[in-house]
Structure 1
Amino acid sequence: MTEVRVLPEPPATSASASRQSLTQLADAAGPAPYRSPWPARRRAAVKHLGLVVLGVVMLYPLIWLLMSSLKPTELIFRDVSLIPSEIDLGNYTAGWTALQYPFSRYLLNSAVIVLGSLVGNLVSCSMAAYAFARLEFRGRQLWFAIMLMSIMLPIHVIIVPQYVLFSRLGWVNTFLPLIVPKLLATDAFFIFLMVQFFRGIPRELDEAARLDGCGHGRIYLRIMLPLSLPALATTAIFTFIWTWNDFFSQLIFLTRPDMYTAPVALRTFLDSTGQSSWGPMFAMSIVSLVPVFLAFLLGQKYLVKGIATTGIK
C-alpha cells in the first residue's frame, strides 16, 4: 500500500500576512466612526467669507471713486455714502473737454508710448533672455549677475543722467526717451522672467532643430517664442500696466501740454489754490482705468500661468 504524504502549506508572504493582520485589526476595532462633513464645510465657508471681506476692503477705494464720479462736485465730500443721492453724468462730459485738449488726445499719447514699450520689451528682452539661456559666451555669468543687480537701482538714481543725455540729443518733449530704452532691453525683470522660462524648455528641441539645419535665429523664432507664450503674455501685461500708469518719467520728459499722457493730464485737474475739479478728475480717472482693467481681465490666465511656470516664488 502506497504511503501518501501531505506536504505542509507554504508560509504566507509578507504582503498576505500584512493584509491578514490589517483585516483582523479592522474586525477587532469595529466599524469606523462617522465623521460629519460640517466642520470642513464650516472652515471653507469662513475662509471664503474672509476672502470676500478682504476683496471688498481692497476694492472700496475704486468703488468710491466710481460712485463719486457720478455725483455733483459739491456733493462728493459732503455725501460720503457709496450710493449717490443724485446721479450726474456731466462730470464725464465736462472732464473730456475741461483741459486745453480733449482727453482723447492724452489717451492717444499714452497708447503710443504703451505700444512702443510693448514692442520694445517683447523683442529686446526675449532676445537677451535667449542669449543668457542658450548661448555660451565668455563672462555670461558675470553679465547675468550685473543684469540682476540693475533691478535694485531705483529710477531716481538714473533719471538725472538720462535727462542730461536725452536733452543733449534733443529728445525732450518727444516720445523717444520713453520708447527707445525699451528697445535696448533695459527692463531686467522681464529678462530674468524669460530666462527662467527658456531654461525650462528642453535642450533636445534645440539639438533636433540644429540637425535640421536651423541656426540660433530660426530656433529663437520657431521654437522658443511659440513655446514661451505665457512668459511673453506676462511681459506684455506688466509692460502695459506699468507704462500706462507711469507718471514720474512722463512728467520729467513731457512738459508740453500737447504731449501729456493720461496720468500727467489727470494731475492738471488739481489746483494748488483749492479750485480743483474733483468730479471731472474722478470721471477721467475711471476712463483711464478702463484699459488697465481690460488688459488684466483678458490676460489674467496667461499672467498666472507665466508667473507659475517661471520658477518665481
Structure 2
Amino acid sequence: MSTTQTAQLMDGTHLAKRIVEEAAVKAAEISHRTGSSPCLATVLVGEDPASVTYVRMKRARCAKAGIRSRHIALPAATTTAELIDTLSDLSVDPDVHGILLQHPCGPHIDERAAFEAIAPEKDVDGVTMHSFAALSFALPGFVSCTPGGIMRLLEAYDVDLAGKHAVVVGRSAILGKPAGMLLLAKDATVTYCHSRTTDLSAIVREADVVVAAVGRPRLIRGEDIKPGAVVIDAGYNPGNVGDVDYDTALTRARLITPVPGGVGPMTIAVLLAQTVEAAAKQLGMQRR
C-alpha cells in the first residue's frame, strides 16, 4: 500500500504574532525612555475598497503593538506633485518615524516618483531605490516587507539556502526582485522567471525553493514541484487563492505556506518591526 506524504505548513500567523509582540516590547521601551512612541504615517489616494481595508488593518495592528498611526487620506484626483509634497512633508516631520504609501495609487500617479519622495530612514515599507540598493549590497536599510517576511519564515523553519536552487516566479520591484536578492545573499543560486519565461514548468521542476509572486491563481502546478521542495506562495488572488495549486503541491513539497495564513501576516509584522527600528534609530536608540 502506498502512502502519500503531506508537506509541513509554514505558519506565518504564529510567527508574525511573535514578531509583533517583540516589536511591542521595543515600542514600549522607546516610549518609556524617550517620551515618544513610534509613529507610522499611512497615505492613501482615493477610496479603493481593498486599499481602505488594508490601511485600516495595518492601523489596527499598529495600535495593538503600541505604535501610533497618522492617516492621510487624499482625494482620488490628487496629482503626483501633490502626493510628492505630502510625502516630502512627512519625511521631514520629526514626529513621524515611518511612512507607508498604500499602492496602487491610480493610473494617473507616477508611483516611482512618489516612492522616491520618502526619506530612506523612514522607508519602512522598503519601496525606494535607496532601500533596494542597500538590500542588494547588504548595507543597512529597510527591506521590502513581503520579501523580508519570506526570509524570516525560511529562517524560522531552518531552511538552509546555501547552494540551493531558488526559483522566483515574478519580477516586481517590491516583491520578486528583492526576494531574489535576499535569497542570493544567503548563497542560494537564484533564477528569476516571469510572464515571458519559456517553459516555466521545466524550470520550476528543478527548484529546491519556489517563491511564487506573480499574481496569477494556481499558475504553479503541483506536479511541477520537485519532491521535497520548499514552496513559498506570496500570491493572493480573489477567493483566497494563491499562485500555487495548493492541494496538489501539498503532496510533493516538504514545506509550504498556506494562503491565507502564510506570507500575508508576515508582511504586516515586518512593517511594524521596521517602524519600531526606524523610531529607535531616529530617537537615538539604535539597537544594531
Shorter-chain TM-score tier: under 0.3
Which of structures 1 and 2 has the larger relative contact order (alpha carbons within 8 angstroms, sep 6+)? 1
> Structure 1 length normalisation: TM-score?
0.21
